Structure 1
Amino acid sequence: MAREKVAVALVTQSNGMQERIILCDQDEIRLGRDKGNEFVISEPGVSRVHASLSASRSGVVITDFESLNGTFVNGVRIHGMRDVSSSEEIQIGKVRIVIELASDYEPEEIRSTRARAMTAQMRPIAVSVLVFEISVNDKHEGDSERETTLKDTIEEFDGIIDRQIGEKTVALWMGGDGKNQSLRAIRAFQRIYEKLEVKSGRDLVLRGVISSGTGLQATTGANASGGEMNLIGDPLNIAFALFGCLDMAGETLLFDGRTAEQIQDSVSVCSVEGVSTDTEQLFRLADF
């Protein structure tokens, strides 16, 4: 079955030449100077493996791989991962990339009809985002078995794996009850840790972050028979910012204030002192 188109990346080279890259669900396009990348940028100031674009039904994420000269979105240098909306401009060296999400790059007459239908069908949803990374020096369990464990555990707690970005996994919980989404994300992370710890022991390094907030869910297509597109936005970018604090905090699991507020009646939480993002105080589980 053909994968759903998520976005078009319009790439403008330094000489003015333009190229369109179609991004489908679960695509990951690596960009850099090395010829092994899916998109090669032949500039001396660009790192060998500089960045990547990953697509899923919740949109497009740009990831900078600690490049020397940086990846910029709308003129601001990013660190790690960032969700990208339509018409935002990514700059790598002298190359500029503009993302247009699927509903925006269709022919105008189709787009206007579809946009009206999507607007009518959009609804706010509670969202919890779990971003985690696993490092296991394990001779007993292969990658495919571990991936099955992750998928089964997340689905056991009613979540979905949204995408893989390098070694990182992004999982989502969406619904009408924010407290339940946050608790399920917490429980899923704990269960993953328990399952992998039994098999891997001291060789397991599992780190994660959880952010909660509000997103939008829309049925794509002019009628309700189409697929669903999830517009996550702020909770996803907050999770990416939290992930960048893990090393400094020295914690296995961090989460934001919204998550802490939603789960504090069910589990014991405490603040992490001395570490924060520009906008978020960090929290952890008191007994984990």
Structure 2
Amino acid sequence: MSDSPKAFFKLVAGGEEHTWTLVGKSTYRVGRGEGSDILLPYPWVSRQHAMVQVESNFSHNIVDLGSANGTFVNGRRVYTPTKLNSLDHVKIGKSELIFQQETLVAPPSGDETDGTGDETVAFLQKNQVTILVCDIRQFTPLSEEVGAGPISQFLALWSKKVDGIVRKNGGQVDKFIGDAVLAVWPEGADFAAVSTALLSALEISILTGKLGQSVPGISRALKIGAALNSGEAVMGNIGVDGQRDFTIVGDVVNVAFRLQEITSRQKIDVILGEKTYRQLQDASSYFTPQTYTVRGKTESVLTYSASFENLRQYLCKWKSLLKK
């Protein structure tokens, strides 16, 4: 990519100008975490905040990586890969960068690399998915009460068993975030995906209660809140070839985390986004509709909630999923 036109980001902060040149790679990570190509060490920037992809014709796309405070291009929040034009303003949290690029030239013929086999690559595609976020209730005060030893033992066991539950039910774990898990059913947002994601939530709830009682130092049944949301997401593998990381981003993921916050605030066991609920059959007597204001959304969001007992009763209707 040695003949590519120069492109760079500029940031003015504290009276100083910072410039990052985007040359020689096909992806650039933006964030405050180690390994970021564009390092923004500010509290409003997520560790892995956004990613810039360079296409074969040297156009640049930016995509948010599920950050807390969002990525904006010319004032509009982006959830899927968005093409950057020269002099676009890109806001990362509270930090505003200006993207600049020289006039594009014709791309070189053939594929060129530096010969090291250490090229940064990205394979992303749009999918209709179902997202599950589970979070252990009252985990911070529990950690302060019982100490690091029992908590570390619990989380190690919990993470391993939760991963097994998700995989058994056709999903995959995207990441564990402390006492929370983000899982995805990447093959669609239909009844099969939603029902198996719900089954996973129920099984994780049962596991969490039993595991809390069995770990010395905790010896009590722990509870979770579960949020499910369905819709379009961008997913795939990014990173250095041979060490690629699976990632999934988009509004569907962000809303799932906001719904999970509602489960904690309202003491709800399970909450579903509207599109998730619409995939179910004969579920109205088990789930309660309710609208909530969700952070980052201008309009209220319609949700459907249930207790784990109601969820168990609903799933019992489908004997192929759960035995009575």
Q: Does TM, normalized by the shorter one, top 0.5?
A: yes
Paired amino acid for 1:210: L
**2:97 aligned residue:** 96
Contact 2:195–2:280 at 8 Å: present in 1 too? yes
| TM alignment of 1:227-242, pairs within 5 A | 233-242=250-259
- Which of these residues, 279, 292, 301, is aligned with residue 280 of structure 1? 301
Change (3 A) 1:83 1:245: farther
CA shift, 1:152, in A, is 0.6
CA distance in 2: counterparts of 1:28 and 1:200, whole angstroms: 38
Instruction: Show structure 2 runs of 5+ residues with no match.
Output: 1-7, 52-62, 85-89, 100-106, 112-122, 214-219, 239-243, 312-324
- Which of these residues, 122, 130, 133, is aligned with residue 128 of structure 1? 130
Paired amino acid for 2:304: F
Contact 1:126–1:177 at 8 Å: present in 2 too? yes
CA distance in 1: counterparts of 2:301 and 2:180, whole angstroms: 21
Contact 1:11–1:19 at 8 Å: present in 2 too? yes
**2:270 aligned residue:** 253
CA distance in 2: counterparts of 1:175 and 1:133, whole angstroms: 24
Contact 1:126–1:181 at 8 Å: present in 2 too? no
Instruction: Show structure 1 runs of 5+ residues with no match.
Output: 1-9, 65-69, 99-106, 112-117, 221-226
Change (3 A) 1:194 1:29: farther
| TM alignment of 1:74-89, pairs within 5 A | 74=73, 83=79, 85-87=81-83, 89=90
Please, what is the CA RMSD of the aligned residues? 4.6
| TM alignment of 1:92-241, pairs within 5 A | 92-96=93-97, 125-134=127-136, 135=139, 137=143, 139=150, 141-165=153-177, 167-175=179-187, 178-201=190-213, 202=220, 204-215=222-233, 233-241=250-258
CA distance in 2: counterparts of 1:23 and 1:153, whole angstroms: 36
CA shift, 1:203, in A, is 5.5
CA distance in 1: counterparts of 2:130 and 2:301, whole angstroms: 15
**2:280 aligned residue:** 263
CA distance in 2: counterparts of 1:207 and 1:238, whole angstroms: 15
CA distance in 2: counterparts of 1:50 and 1:96, whole angstroms: 13
Paired amino acid for 2:135: E
CA distance in 2: counterparts of 1:214 and 1:239, whole angstroms: 12
Change (3 A) 1:74 1:167: farther
**2:65 aligned residue:** 61
What percentage of residue pairs aligned between the two structures are identical?
14
Paired amino acid for 1:160: Q
CA distance in 1: counterparts of 2:80 and 2:195, whole angstroms: 27
CA distance in 2: counterparts of 1:199 and 1:235, whole angstroms: 30
Instruction: Please list the CA deviations of residues 210-249 of structure 1 after superposition, one character each: whole Å capped at 9, or x if unmatched.
Output: 01124577899xxxxxx99887634223323423433443
1:13 aligns with 2:11: yes
CA distance in 2: counterparts of 1:284 and 1:236, whole angstroms: 18
User: Which of structures 1 and 2 has the bigger CA Rg?
Assistant: 2
Q: Is the deviation greater in 199-208 or in 184-193?
A: 199-208
Paired amino acid for 1:132: C
CA distance in 2: counterparts of 1:23 and 1:261, whole angstroms: 39
Paired amino acid for 1:285: A
CA distance in 2: counterparts of 1:242 and 1:133, whole angstroms: 11
Aligned partner of residue 163 in structure 1, secondary structure = strand
**1:115 aligned residue:** none
Tell me which protein shows more strand as a share of its residues. Answer: 1
CA distance in 1: counterparts of 2:190 and 2:108, whole angstroms: 36
CA shift, 1:146, in A, is 1.9
